A and B are shown apart, each in its own frame.
Chain A
Amino acid sequence: DGGITQSPKYLFRKEGQNVTLSCEQNLNHDAMYWYRQDPGQGLRLIYYSQIVNDFQKGDIAEGYSVSREKKESFPLTVTSAQKNPTAFYLCASSISTPLAFGGTDTQYFGPGTRLTVL
């Protein structure tokens, strides 16, 4: 079945550690996104990538890093510089971004990773 997978589902981190959240999709989508969700709040964009080997900062990129070496994969690293990393992280993908194809396409989401800093 096609879809987006995120692992792990739950992640615990000690202060000062970097952790990497995995996001894989087999939908053949070009664009991938990382969002952060805090309790009772909406989604905030961390990073997005329109194509392999390229990515752009979103609204809250500080303390995070990403890579896009393969079309299917868009891992997110939460670094020790992120002061308040405890949150729910959602990865999404879409066929394309609007500027490339003159329109937008729906974002489909993975199941999320809940990160807790101990």
Chain B
Amino acid sequence: AQKVTQAQTEISVVEKEDVTLDCVYETRDTTYYLFWYKQPPSGELVFLIRRNSFDEQNEISGRYSWNFQKSTSSFNFTITASQVVDSAVYFCALYPYNFNKFYFGSGTKLNVKP
């Protein structure tokens, strides 16, 4: 089965706290891509990152970092020193090469309070 699980429905933090959003995926494909998108209140999904299954290097972009671990089928997203502008719904998505479609998780709503 191809599936993405984001077990955290909603998370609330206070500004400047670090927060990690979990993503666990299932696929039988050995070639696949993983994505994170941000959906602010305006509704549009904003692309954040794409990784392929052969590249397990962690990535850092400013306050954002991603931890890809094939051994646990996880692709977690950490925001360091969170800000109010980070408040949004975050989606993790899987693209198995042989299935020709995206599988989205149900999203994690992040509330960052001042």
Interface on A for B, CB 8 Å cutoff? 40-43, 45, 48, 58, 88, 90, 92, 97-99, 104, 106-112, 114
A112 touches B43 (CB 8 A): yes
Name which residue of chain A comes closest to B46, CB basis: A109
A111 touches B42 (CB 8 A): yes
> Would you give the shortest CB distance from A45 to chain B, in whole angstroms?
6
A98 touches B44 (CB 8 A): no
A109 touches B95 (CB 8 A): no
> Would you give the shortest CB distance from A72 to chain B, in whole angstroms?
19
Name which residue of chain A comes closest to B91, CB basis: A42
Contacts of A109 in B (CB 8 A): 37, 44-47
The 8 A CB mask of B1-29 against A (1 = contact, 0 = none) is 00010000100000000000000000000
Contacts of B97 in A (CB 8 A): 98, 104
Contacts of A90 in B (CB 8 A): 43-45
Main secondary structure of the interface of B (DSSP, over half): loop
The 8 A CB mask of B45-76 against A (1 = contact, 0 = none) is 11100100000000000000000000000000
Contact partner of A45 (CB less than 8 A), chosen from B9, B44, B102, is B102
CA distance A111 to B43 in the complex (A): 6
Any A CB within 8 A of the CB of B104: yes
| Contacts known (A104-B33, A104-B97); A42 close to B104, Cβ less than 8 A | yes
- A sample of 23 cross-chain residue pairs with beta-carbon separation below 8 angstroms, ordered by A number, consists of A40-B9, A40-B107, A41-B106, A41-B107, A42-B91, A42-B104, A43-B104, A45-B102, A90-B43, A97-B100, A98-B97, A98-B100, A99-B100, A104-B33, A104-B95, A106-B47, A107-B47, A109-B45, A109-B47, A110-B44, A111-B43, A112-B44, A114-B43
Name which residue of chain B comes closest to A113, CB basis: B43
Contacts of B102 in A (CB 8 A): 43, 45, 107
Contacts of B43 in A (CB 8 A): 88, 90, 111-112, 114
A sample of 9 more A-B contacts (CB under 8 A), given A107-B102, A109-B44, A110-B44, is A42-B91, A42-B105, A43-B102, A45-B101, A92-B45, A108-B47, A109-B45, A109-B47, A111-B44
> Would you give the shortest CB distance from B90 to chain A, in whole angstroms?
11
